[in-house]
Amino acid sequence: MTSLNFPKTGHGRDSILLFPTSCFQSKPFLPSSKGYRYSSGLIVRTQTLIYASSLSNGRTKIKGPREIQFVAKAQPVAVELVEGKLRDPQTSGDAIRQRFLDFYAARGHKVLPSASLVPDDPTVLLTIAGMLQFKPIFLGKVPREVPSAATSQKCIRTNDIENVGRTSRHQTFFEMLGNFSFGDYFKKEAIKWAWELSTSEYGLPADRLWISVYEDDDETFALWHDELGIPKERIKRLGEDDNFWTSGVTGPCGPCSELYYDFHPERGTSDVDLGDDTRFIEFYNLVFMQYNKKDDGSLEPLKQKNIDTGLGLERMARILQKVPNNYETDLIFPILEKAAELANVSYALAGDSTKTKLKIIGDHMRAVVYLISDGVNPSNIGRGYVVRRLIRRVVRTGRLLGVKGDGMGDLQGAFLPILAKKVIELSTNIDADVKTRSSRILEELRREELRFVLTLERGEKLLEQMLADALLNIQGTETAPCLSGKDAFILYDTYGFPVEITKEVAEERGISIDMNSFDIEMEKQRQLSQAAHDTVKLAVENGANHAEDIPDTEFLGYNTLHSKAVVEGLLVNGSPVTQVSKGGEVEILLNRTPFYAESGGQIGDNGFLYMMEAENGQKAIVEIKDVQKSMGNIFVHKGTITEGTIEVGREVEAAVDANLRQRAKVHHTATHLLQSALKRVIGQETSQAGSMVAFDRLRFDFNFHRSLQDKELEEIEGLINQWIGDGTILETKVMSLTDAKGAGAVAMFGEKYGEQVRVVEVPGVSMELCGGTHVSNTAEIRGFKIISEQGIASGIRRIEAVAGDAFIEYVLTRDNYMKQLCSTLKVKAEEVTGRVDGLLEELRLTRNEVSAARAKAAIYKASTLASRAFTIGTSKSIRLLVEFMDDIDADSLKSAAEYLVDSLKDPAAVVLGSCPGEGKVSLVVALTPGVVNLGIKAGEVIKPLAKSCGGGGGGRPNFAQAGGRKPENLLGALEEAREQLKNLLEK
């Protein structure tokens, strides 16, 4: 035996090299490469020697140092060392995922990529289940492309957000491993494979697995017990709430069976509750989609029985990695460690409260990184609000942990990007696109965090105001001060201010919080969240029952604008009919059509359907105003019967409005050119976030953090018009999705693609996956003009532009406006700017003169009021003046107050109010230093005054202004202010 030369590179400080125990000898010593660890079991490391435990049993405690030697032929295996424990690489999160996919691929399943977190489904806000991308197949509205599939689907659920970090299993972002059968196999195979995967592939002990089945599902019970030999005592029958899956009030449904892992088998089999989180975790759910629930609640067998399963990756990792919760798996724990480092705490030594906060950060950071990567940026509505809410929760949780600035010394910096880098590092096998989008993700998080820090500071100021109100409201009573739960919730929900901090600050002032009403507000929000996120609606719109037997519409519109077709169905107000007469609004389903249905941002075609009557030759004419897709690929032509009667089963001539189609084609190709121009001018990281292609204009939304400069817009326009002038012939081809991505084709935002895709290329300029209609040559676009650029949400910009005929019309209209302006100003076009600048300067000077005149008038009027001031106070030396000044504007009222407070000398207090216009109130409070020194502040005086008048305001201790909307309350409010000040000044 000889000593082994160990590698100097290739393993990190958190890895060891594991050798078979037979390779060890315990006599000669072995020098260690510093920083590396070698063992067959538990080890300790010194600077020069490796000391190993018993060589035959890795679980034996170290009894003493042993100098060891390896057989030179031994083959090392890298093993991660986590908290002093060896971790088998086959139990890593990445390995578990791959083993699942490989397992089902070997059994005939097509492995498909994860769908976006932004679903192609209007009934669901975010992708919440692996089955969502297969919904049209389950409904039978889209033919299956493969008989069975397997996926690892990114998912987001926020209905249990308050449980994140508090339980061992609740997460907002998670991966759902799933195997799906579209009429290919059913219960027997699904159950057999689930058991084989769990016990043989993953090696879970059979005696630790429990099964739940639907209470009436004897077939499933028998498969588990008779076929696989699961003891009856470990198979639990549960009711409809637990083990019968429904898609909604009506639609596909069926019983389900779930697999549970038992962490404490020593507790026995009597009185077992599978819902006991301290003992069990459900890790695999098998849904047997075999019924259709009808309107009356009855069940009828589906023609095609399907399988929909879900295995939680994080849950399986927790089991196999033998950690106490999902957060301490290698899928999430590195993020927790980085957060702990920034907070200068040790996760291992932290208390439960600190660990909970670190778990919240680890979970939410995964969610926001993947959401932003999929095109969802923070905003106040829809999906954007989910991202914003999660980001705010991370920021405020980090502050509670004591993270300041970026956590690394820059107090003005942001710490979210540092955590996001760790998420991105872990993303390779989850979503490879995350790394390519990393710079945009990091910048978006940085901006949102810094913006929210300012919001938090505003929340602190609002809290101060709320606490002052709480104290003010109990003056003269014996009631204890209390902050309303509604106010605390506003701070929490709108300003992201943690209720824990609110309570702490309030208690310092001797103020309690009405937590009951706070909990009520929280429950309202939670119910709204659950309603929005908790179900996948498998319902069919546009006359679903009627559409069941109608095949997909054959689209002919790429090659022709006219075709014959057969009327397959008619719908009026969503109900099927056999005929519709003149004047009726109708939705028409054809077997084939040249009409483009709205998708990919391009609106549907307009045109006509013509039907000849066989007997008298009378025509039926339908004017088509819109075309939409329903249930996958059924085209719904929406129109009005302008002549005759149209019937199901009759042949029609379909004719698309060629002029409008050309306008749409021009604008759609222009959006492709626009995206390429944007990438060249402002950077490749920008990406599409939405689009609209209409007949009169185009709209293009994209990710960017600032408004575009004029010179950038000019450069973009210049590039596009240059490409138009080049007269480049477009190339369109159909290829596999893999080949298209390999060729560099860009996917359109929000679109879902099959195995075969259509690629539209402007050679040398752009290549995109797109099903829309396009010009054949860029010269057809004729011209391009940006008409606006603006922000529509945080980090999202929008460009509107015109091209083709709409471009010509826009230029002609603007030219007419210019001619009219030149005529009015009596100058040439090139002189308009100078003339307008001159007029604006004249207007400014005139306004200044008017304002000065008004101020003088107000001061003169104020001088006549000075005599009305009266003296109060113990020394009768404080002068007080509270007056109404008719219709004086706000600026003039300010000048009058300043004049009066100077005229009356110190100490003096002046309160003035006026009604400068209909429904308007102006208020001013001015105090001299002598009054301010008595502890009276102008802002505190004006606040109740403004509130009485339906407004608000503020200012400095010696001067405050406010406005209002209730002039009818002004005189009474001034009288109250007079009495308030008298009481304060006479003390």
Give the residue numbers of the binding site for Zn(2+): 668, 672, 770, 774
What number of other Cβ atoms are within 10 A of residue 19's Cβ?
A: 20
DSSP, collapsed to helix, strand or coil, labels residue 629 as strand
DSSP state of 595: P
Q: How do beta strands 908-914 and 878-884 pair?
A: parallel
What is the per-residue DSSP string for 623-686? Answer: EEEEEEEETTTEEEEEEEEEESEEETT-EEEEEE-HHHHHHHHHHHHHHHHHHHHHHHHH-TT-
DSSP, collapsed to helix, strand or coil, labels residue 625 as strand
Residue of 364, 168, 127 lying closest to 280 (CA atoms): 168
Q: Which token pair is 136?
A: 């049209």
Angle CA 101–106–111, to nearest 5: 40
- 519-537 burial, b if ≥16 CB within 10 A, otherwise e? eebbeeeeeebeeebebbe
Confirm if 858 and 883 have CB atoms less than 8 A apart: no
Q: Which token pair is 494?
A: 């709108």
**Chain-centre distance for alpha carbon 634:** 30
Question: Would you give the end-to-end CA distance of the chain in angstroms?
Answer: 100
Whole-number CA gyration radius for the chain = 36
Confirm if 543 and 574 have CB atoms less than 8 A apart: yes
Burial class (CB in 10 A: 0-12, 13-18, 19+), 206: middle
Side-chain-facing half-sphere of 324: CA atoms under 13 Å: 7
Confirm if 172 and 156 have CB atoms less than 8 A apart: yes
Query: 801: alpha, beta or left, given left = phi > 0 and alpha = psi -120 to 50?
Result: beta
- 545-581 burial, b if ≥16 CB within 10 A, otherwise e? ebbeebeebebbbeeebebebebbbbbeeeeebebbe
d(CA 732, CA 745) in angstroms, rounded, equals 12
The single residue listed with the structure tokens 């029609």 is 652
d(CA 41, CA 835) in angstroms, rounded, equals 87
In the chain, the amino acid numbered 362 is G
DSSP, collapsed to helix, strand or coil, labels residue 860 as helix
DSSP, collapsed to helix, strand or coil, labels residue 840 as helix
Side-chain-facing half-sphere of 55: CA atoms under 13 Å: 18
3-state SS track over 855-916: HHHHHHHHHHHHHHCEEECCCCCEEEEEEECCCCCHHHHHHHHHHHHHHCCCCEEEEEEECC
Identify the H or E element spanning 189.
Answer: helix 187-196
- 140-151 burial, b if ≥16 CB within 10 A, otherwise e? bbbebeeebbbb
**Contacts with 816 (C-beta within 8 Å, 6 or more apart), sequence order:** none
Query: 750: alpha, beta or left, given left = phi > 0 and alpha = psi -120 to 50?
Result: left
Confirm if 759 and 767 have CB atoms less than 8 A apart: yes
Strand partners, 246: 253
Cis? peptide before 7, omega within 30° of 0:
no
d(CA 476, CA 472) in angstroms, rounded, equals 9
Q: Would you mind telling me the total number of residues written for the chain in this entry? A: 987
- 661-686 burial, b if ≥16 CB within 10 A, otherwise e? bbbbbbbbbbbbbbbbbbbebbeeeb
The binding site consists of 668, 672, 770, 774
DSSP state of 31: B
Strand partners, 785: 802
